[in-house]
Amino acid sequence: MAASTPELEADRQALIRLVQDEAVFHGDFTLSSGKKATYYVDMRKLTLDHRAAPAIGRIMLDLIADIPDIVAVGGLTLGADPIANAVMHESARTAHPLDAFVVRKEPKDHGRGRQIEGADVRGRRVVVVEDTSTTGQSALKAVEALRREGAEVVAVAVIVDRSTGAQVAIEAEGLEWRSAIGLADLGLDPQ
């Protein structure tokens, strides 16, 4: 999916080059889903990189800009955290700033026992973000926790779509799927 302006598309193309050069590793890998792969896209290397994070914020904000009434973005810790923060920081420059939230894998066993930290999501429209997804299970775990908390999750947005079934799983839950970069953009074949 191309970005909405020439400047954002230039950001997206620069990010694609960074992903190709620094985040695609070839070899024999076992993905978190248990599936075998001949390459691995390690987006955490770039979501935490000063060269890529600002562009990720702009690109992901653009990707979800047309979804009405979104108030926050976030997802399952750890992968979603830098993306949500990049989007939040970039959105602060706009007329519609977004907050961020973090979904813990399990509720805390002390303090207030919260599973979702940051923005109050109860009764609010939110988007789950992720770096990449194989089966959609991490995003769906975040969606489940958000729904229990009373959030209205409307979409899942990923930086890189691996084309391995995550979109189908997300859409089966009645959510919209959005991705900024596809395998074809990276010159990779589906696995």
Whether 75 has a binding-site annotation, put simply, is no
Whether 141 has a binding-site annotation, put simply, is no
Average pLDDT of the segment spanning 133-155: 95
% of the chain with per-residue pLDDT over 90: 84
SS3 60: helix
Task: Yes or no: say if 165 and 137 are a contact pair by the CB < 8 Å rule.
Answer: no
Whether 167 has a binding-site annotation, put simply, is no
How much is the pLDDT for 33? 74
End-to-end Cα, the chain, rounded Å: 20
Whether 90 has a binding-site annotation, put simply, is no
Whether 89 has a binding-site annotation, put simply, is no
The answer on pLDDT for 108 being more than 70 is: no
Whether 171 has a binding-site annotation, put simply, is no
Whether 161 has a binding-site annotation, put simply, is no
Average pLDDT of the segment spanning 116-122: 96
Whether 187 has a binding-site annotation, put simply, is no
Q: Which helix (H) or strand (E) holds 36?
A: strand 36-41
111's CB contacts (< 8 A; 6+ apart) are none
> Environment class of residue 120 by beta-carbon count within 10 Å: exposed (0-12), middle (13-18) or buried (19+)?
middle
Whether 108 has a binding-site annotation, put simply, is yes
The answer on pLDDT for 138 being more than 80 is: yes
Q: How far apart are CA 155 and CA 127, in angstroms?
A: 5
Structure tokens at 156: 């899942």
Mean pLDDT rounded to a whole number for the chain: 94
